[in-house]
Chains A and B, each alone.
Chain A
Amino acid sequence: MFEKLIQKGLEKSAWLYHLNTGSCNGCDIELVSVITPRYDAERFGFKIAGSPRHADIIVVSGPITSQSRDRLIRTLAQVPDPKVVVSLGSCPRSCNVFNGSYCVEGPLDKYTPIDVAIAGCPPKPEAIMAGLVRAVEILKEKRRAMK
């Protein structure tokens, strides 16, 4: 009985944790615009959580710099299961224009499997919303696999 309610809950209330690993702030601003009155992601239950322990979806933006690599690994380990990793923008996938820099240790898939990748530099808020809705579907699948 509870399993059905939990599935419904996962569908309707996914909390985001935004992790900036050396991003230029472009993607961060676009992510924040998703929770503003114009796009209002809260109507689908998305909420930005302050602590990785409360999160369901981890949104990673930025190429992984050497300073943030260790923090990235530790933060991802703190998120309770089921969890979904979303890469925001081009940087976490390919390091973008920062590729080859001495202080960049990306891309993200060296450290964790990526479930949803949102492309763009920066991606549009509509694209971010579409990516988050896809992430919720994967979240539900992961919960089913946990059982």
Chain B
Amino acid sequence: MELLKRILYILLYPGLIYCVIGGLILAGIDRKLLARMQKRIGPPILQPFYDFFKLLGKETIVPRNAAKKAFLAAPVIGLISLITVSLFIPVFKFSPFSTYADLIVVIYLLTIPAVALIVGGSASGSPYAGVGISREMVAIISYELPMVVSLLAIAKKVGLALNNGVMTFSLSQIVEYQAQNGPLFTKLSIIPAFIAMLLVIPCKVGSLPFDIAEAEIEICEGPLVEYSGAPLAIFKLNHAIKMLVMTSLFVTLFLSGAGTGILAIDAVIQFILMLVVMFFSITLLKAITARLRVEQTLKFYWTYPTALAILSLILVYFGL
């Protein structure tokens, strides 16, 4: 019975099916909103599904000087790790795979899709992909620092209240704290970390002001340049699921609480909050900005978001 429940979790709700359908719908709403902001009619909300199935029906070409196994395995590895992250993120009080230190597992697993992109790009043997993977590495270095520091601030804040002053890395404890004391973004000391994390999301999912690795106009989508057919479809799917996972993590960290106790209603509330977060951090930013250069991205992330995150950590230590 327990095993059956676990399999259901992995395949159905926070796992495979939810990730694929939810991620693609999220990406479709993003494209529609962006089009409406540019005074266009825009593609239908189901457009990412059409793209996905069309790419499945195309021929898959493996370039002659590509490393075939790594080239074909990279997108699948990214997909698997993203679905695993989704299993660890609690939806209000519902957390199927709660462990003692999920936050660390989540940080590590969230790096794997970016690494998969690097592996796939370098296996394809194209100079455009070479430029793309070096930029992807810069992107990882830039967003990782503010993200980890703001997560530390949250861990300390929750640990002071629930874990005898020791940092806690358990996401279910973070949710429990928010159920007792209200959402974390209302706490004065966490507000800077909230803003920093909001700025980390667009770089993590590779959306416009920070999409240096997949710059479509400059380097023809960078690491994806040699991909076609089914592997490209899975990379596009990864991109959509990354959006889902990052906004879901954000909602759980800052906007969570006790919820209603009924899973279906909680899931719907979580999805609506994710849409709001996606609108402000991804769609709005995409519509009003142009792409930054590589060194501008690094400079931006290591100044303002990092400073905000460290400020938050200091405020937490002062007990605000």
B56: which of A6, A51, A54 is its contact (CB, 8 Å)? A6
Which residue of the partner chain B has the closest CB to A53? B228
Which residue of the partner chain A has the closest CB to B57? A6
Asked if A71 is at the interface (CB within 8 A of a chain B CB), the reply is no
A53 touching B226, Cβ below 8 Å: yes
B57 touching A9, Cβ below 8 Å: yes
B217 touching A50, Cβ below 8 Å: yes
How many interface residues does chain A have, given as a range? Answer: 20 to 34
B61 touching A9, Cβ below 8 Å: no
**CA of A50 to CA of B61, assembled, Å:** 16
A13 touching B47, Cβ below 8 Å: yes
Residues of chain A contacted by B53 (CB below 8 angstroms): 2, 5-6, 8-9
Which residue of the partner chain A has the closest CB to B58? A80
Asked if A56 is at the interface (CB within 8 A of a chain B CB), the reply is yes
Which residue of the partner chain B has the closest CB to A6? B57
Q: Which of A35-43, A61-69, A94-102 contacts B (4 or more CB under 8 A)?
A: A35-43
**CA of A143 to CA of B226, assembled, Å:** 22
How many interface residues does chain B have, given as a range? Answer: 35 or more
B47 touching A54, Cβ below 8 Å: no
Residues of chain A contacted by B56 (CB below 8 angstroms): 2, 6, 9
User: B238 → chain A, closest Cβ, in Å?
Assistant: 15
**CA of A10 to CA of B51, assembled, Å:** 8
B221 touching A9, Cβ below 8 Å: no
Task: Tell me what chain A mostly uses at the interface: helix, strand, loop, or mixed.
Answer: helix
B57 touching A10, Cβ below 8 Å: yes
Which residue of the partner chain B has the closest CB to A78? B61
Q: A50-B225, A51-B224 given. 17 additional CB < 8 A pairs? A: A7-B57, A8-B50, A9-B53, A13-B47, A42-B31, A42-B42, A43-B41, A43-B44, A45-B43, A50-B219, A53-B225, A53-B226, A53-B227, A53-B232, A54-B224, A80-B228, A81-B58
Which 10 pairs across A and B sit closest by C-beta, in order of nearness? Answer: A9-B54, A50-B220, A6-B57, A9-B53, A80-B59, A12-B50, A53-B228, A13-B50, A5-B53, A80-B228
Residues of B near any A CB (own CB < 8 A)? 31, 35, 38-44, 47, 49-61, 128, 216-217, 219-221, 224-229, 232
